[in-house]
Chains A and B, each alone.
Chain A
Amino acid sequence: MLNFKRIPLGAWIGLILTGLLMICALLAPWIAPYGNGEIVGDVWEPMSWTHWLGTDNLGRDLLSRMLYGARITIFISAMATALSFSLGAMLGFMAAVVGGLLDMLMSRIVDLLMAIPTLIFGLVVLSVLPANNLTLILVMGILSSTRVYRLSSAVAADINAMDFVEAARLRGERLGWIIFREILPNALSPLVAELGLRFIFSVLFLSALSYLGLGVQPPEADWGGMVMENKDGIVFGIPAALIPAAAIAALAISVNLVADWVLTRTTSFKGGRD
């Protein structure tokens, strides 16, 4: 089915980088040279053979921190994105297909949620709820599902007006078939494009929350939190803050390269076999 020769160069770069980051995240406890919170040297040591990426603001090994950070960053962002997509797309499709009062009700609630700036809303909710990773995922997922809801209900409304959906309805099909078999496959392209973006927004949102002290709690840290911890070093010419920042950029680009490639496959009307 999948022809390796036909994968374009961009997708290869994306796939390899994403794969590498995933492996790092999965194997962090085994490949990291030092512990996550272990202080092993001086503050902000430069790169050396003992500390490949130097040490951070407390003298912890930056490479080990990066590996553990990859784990937590990717895990939380991926879970939040998955939640926002399953929730947002399901409700969005339902609103478009059922229409009427349900659509009205859900859309206005979403409008209400969207009217409040996401970061402020997140801050308020997180400062009330206990600070752990589960609440973080739930809050991030639900907040970004409003965007997915908007997109998917708009896309589904267009598809819902097509004759083949009417034909399915005339056949007597239930809501589940109409949503999952008639609409979802046709709505996949814009959703996949959005997925790549949303994942990266989740990483950034998580970073912002950690920066403000409401995200991942120390001694654990995601990449965004590590940028914050080491930002003061930049003034003294110490690159420790740039390394997690570069990692975020690499993740963002590689995930979107993969998303683009998936997109060209899902837009094909011939099942990707051309």
Chain B
Amino acid sequence: MAKVQMPPRREMGVLLEIRNLKVEATVYSPGENPRDVTIVDGVSLALKRGKVLGLIGESGAGKSTIGLSSMGYGRGGVRITGGEVLLNGRDILKGGVQGLRRVRGSEVCYVAQSAAAAFNPAHRLMGQVVEAALLHGTATKAEAEKRAVALFTKLRLPDPKSIGYRYPHQVSGGQLQRVMTAMALCSEPDLIVFDEPTTALDVTTQIEVLAAIKDAIRDNGVAALYITHDLAVVTQVSDEIIVLRDGKMVEHGETRQIIEAPRMDYTKALVSVRSIEHEEKEPTPKPLLSVRNVTAAYGGGAVKVLQDVSVDVHSGQTLAVVGESGSGKSTLARVITGLLPPIAGSITFASRTLARRLADRSRDDLRELQMIYQMADVAMNPRQTVGTIIGRPLEFYFGMRGRERDKRVAELLDEIEMGKGFIDRYPAELSGGQKQRVCIARALAAKPKLIICDEVTSALDPLVADGILKLLLRLQKIEDVGYLFITHDLATVKAIADSIAVMYRGEVVRHGSKTQVLTPPFDAYTDLLLSSVPEMEVGWLESAIKGRRMESAGN
């Protein structure tokens, strides 16, 4: 007897419908029996034609997994074990491999986070952009290439007629991301999955890519799933937002409702992130660290990366150094720490002139100037326990041993809001936020006067980053330590800085107290930088694009 199948409930214009999606993976940890973990549990959503749905959540929330499931794909051994994925009214999970092949690249396309890693470096861009259209036979080569050029023009790529004949390494990251969007649009799909397409880009570039993507979506009438962890970004492009946490749906609503009137506590926490109260301090008469007219270069003077840079950090205060990638912020940190001896200029620290080379500095110079890194996992030796990592500076600088050292380590763990139980753990047994906390404790153990923080929160989820920033501010009050805070994130700067230095192409273009720097009139670059920071406000993108005075460097 033929099974009577209920006709699928066809709402007008529903393109994608996911019902009770369940995704599982098998974890093989050494020494244990393999076990199944549920990555996505019972998520349902519906997407109408031409609409954009934002999926937002922290890392591990399952947002990419849900996005890829709309193509029937499970990344890295992940299995879709339950639910239905209806695309154009058909359940694509039941179509078998052949059915999936027909869907992928013609009805659904995918834009990956790292365009640089997603393009084949050995082929020209054009061949890769038109590949899907040719494969599915939706267009001849000439038609597809014509369409690609039209898309390049629409996405505001420079020189649209010939950019397709370049190789991926010959265009910048922001441009490559736009080429990938063109690739997704070229086979005229019904749905595009954007997986964090602007996360790896600088703010000034991000806004342009975002605007281009938004226009292209609107003009081509495709629907899109937009996956990101940045609520401000998703606000600009999507009509609806789904907030995810640990593979479950937390809240689903119109963009405006989520931003302005969130219902769930978790969404409220996400929306209110970066609302740190910090009172700006007056500069002291004598700066703690004073960098004067420093010029530095790589390759024996061939490539100048810092030119005539002067900044001051005051005791117990925070100087934020901002700029896009390649502006020389991290090089400044290397020069101050002595890893890269400058070719001109001087550095004064605590009324002493610092030696240029690391090897010539005294132990006290080294002790009082500590550093915290962006990637906490590579900044700690994976073979040392937390106790050794934090305890080593105590041994090294203060000669503490045995019980005395362990007692101090426990105190430090307490200060960073972690318990004594962590003392025997290895870095692999810590979460991302905990790792960064241990790095902070290691820096504090040396009783420094200044800590250089190199992008310390940019690899962390917003809520975790928030916790780290609050911790840093609290520690500053207790220990009276100065921070030189390197970041590209202006929201962070506004939250914690006392003074700001804006860097552009190796030069400091603006330097002063926070109020001075953030008060108009601005120079052209500061204006561009400030106007590029996405705000959690519907319609911000359009007004920001209109008000811009200068093009970004496109790094």
Which A residues touch B32, using CB under 8 A? 274
Asked whether B383 lies within 8 Å of A170 as measured between CB atoms, the reply is no
**Chain B residue with Cβ nearest A173:** B396
Across the interface, A268 reaches (CB within 8 A) one of B30, B367, B393, B427, namely B30
- Shortest Cβ gap from B371 to chain A (Å): 6
> Can you identify 5 A-B contacts, CB atoms within 8 angstroms?
A170-B371, A172-B396, A181-B381, A185-B383, A274-B30
Which A residues touch B393, using CB under 8 A? 171
Which A residues touch B442, using CB under 8 A? 167
- Complex CA gap A159/B57 in Å reads 34
Asked whether B426 lies within 8 Å of A270 as measured between CB atoms, the reply is yes
Asked whether A270 lies within 8 Å of B428 as measured between CB atoms, the reply is yes
Band of interface residues on B: 20 to 34
Q: Which stretch of B9-17, B194-202, B309-317, B372-380 is in the interface? A: B372-380
Is B363 positioned at the interface, with any CB of A under 8 Å from its CB?
Answer: yes
Asked whether B379 lies within 8 Å of A172 as measured between CB atoms, the reply is no
B interface footprint on A51-80 (CB within 8 Å = 1, 0 otherwise): 000000000000000000000000000000
Is A264 positioned at the interface, with any CB of B under 8 Å from its CB?
Answer: yes
Asked whether A170 lies within 8 Å of B381 as measured between CB atoms, the reply is no
Across the interface, B339 reaches (CB within 8 A) one of A170, A173, A181, A269, namely A170
Asked whether A6 lies within 8 Å of B379 as measured between CB atoms, the reply is no
- Complex CA gap A176/B429 in Å reads 27
Is A166 positioned at the interface, with any CB of B under 8 Å from its CB?
Answer: yes
Question: B365-406: which have CB < 8 Å to A?
Answer: 366-367, 370-371, 373, 375, 378-385, 392-393, 396
Across the interface, B429 reaches (CB within 8 A) one of A163, A164, A170, A270, namely A270
Known: A166-B339, A172-B396. A182 touches B381 (CB 8 A): yes
Asked whether A6 lies within 8 Å of B31 as measured between CB atoms, the reply is yes
Which A residues touch B363, using CB under 8 A? 172
Known: A171-B366, A173-B396, A185-B383. A269 touches B427 (CB 8 A): yes
Which A residues touch B337, using CB under 8 A? 170
Question: B309-351: which have CB < 8 Å to A?
Answer: 337-339
Asked whether B373 lies within 8 Å of A167 as measured between CB atoms, the reply is yes
**B residues in contact (CB < 8 Å) with A:** 29-32, 337-339, 358, 361, 363, 366-367, 370-371, 373, 375, 378-385, 392-393, 396, 426-429, 442, 446
Is chain A's binding surface mostly helix, strand, loop or mixed? helix
Residue of B337, B367, B375, B379 with most chain A CB atoms under a 10 A cut-off = B379
Asked whether B381 lies within 8 Å of A186 as measured between CB atoms, the reply is yes
Which B residues touch A170, using CB under 8 A? 337-339, 358, 366, 370-371
Is A162 positioned at the interface, with any CB of B under 8 Å from its CB?
Answer: yes
A-B contact count (CB 8 A): 60
Question: A170-201: which have CB < 8 Å to B?
Answer: 170-173, 181-182, 185-186
Is A271 positioned at the interface, with any CB of B under 8 Å from its CB?
Answer: yes
Known: A164-B380, A264-B30. A169 touches B429 (CB 8 A): no
Known: A170-B358, A172-B363, A268-B30. A163 touches B378 (CB 8 A): yes
Which B residues touch A274, using CB under 8 A? 29-32
Known: A171-B366, A172-B366. A185 touches B428 (CB 8 A): no
Which B residues touch A163, using CB under 8 A? 373, 375, 378-379
> What would 17 more interface pairs be, CB under 8 Å, given A163-B373, A268-B30?
A163-B375, A163-B378, A163-B379, A164-B379, A166-B339, A167-B371, A169-B339, A170-B338, A171-B392, A172-B363, A181-B381, A181-B384, A182-B381, A185-B384, A186-B381, A269-B427, A274-B32
- Shortest Cβ gap from A264 to chain B (Å): 7
Which B residues touch A181, using CB under 8 A? 381, 384
- Shortest Cβ gap from B121 to chain A (Å): 22
Which A residues touch B338, using CB under 8 A? 170
- Shortest Cβ gap from B364 to chain A (Å): 10
Which A residues touch B370, using CB under 8 A? 170
- Complex CA gap A274/B429 in Å reads 10
Asked whether A185 lies within 8 Å of B426 as measured between CB atoms, the reply is no
- Shortest Cβ gap from A145 to chain B (Å): 24
- Complex CA gap A182/B31 in Å reads 27
Asked whether A169 lies within 8 Å of B385 as measured between CB atoms, the reply is no
- Shortest Cβ gap from B106 to chain A (Å): 43
- Complex CA gap A163/B377 in Å reads 9
- Complex CA gap A274/B29 in Å reads 8
**Chain A residue with Cβ nearest B393:** A171
Which A residues touch B392, using CB under 8 A? 171
Which A residues touch B361, using CB under 8 A? 172
Known: A170-B371, A171-B366. A186 touches B31 (CB 8 A): no
**Chain A residue with Cβ nearest B373:** A163
Asked whether A167 lies within 8 Å of B379 as measured between CB atoms, the reply is yes
**Chain A residue with Cβ nearest B369:** A170
Which A residues touch B373, using CB under 8 A? 163, 167
Which A residues touch B385, using CB under 8 A? 271
Across the interface, A185 reaches (CB within 8 A) one of B379, B380, B381, namely B381
Asked whether A171 lies within 8 Å of B396 as measured between CB atoms, the reply is yes
Which B residues touch A173, using CB under 8 A? 396
- Shortest Cβ gap from A159 to chain B (Å): 9
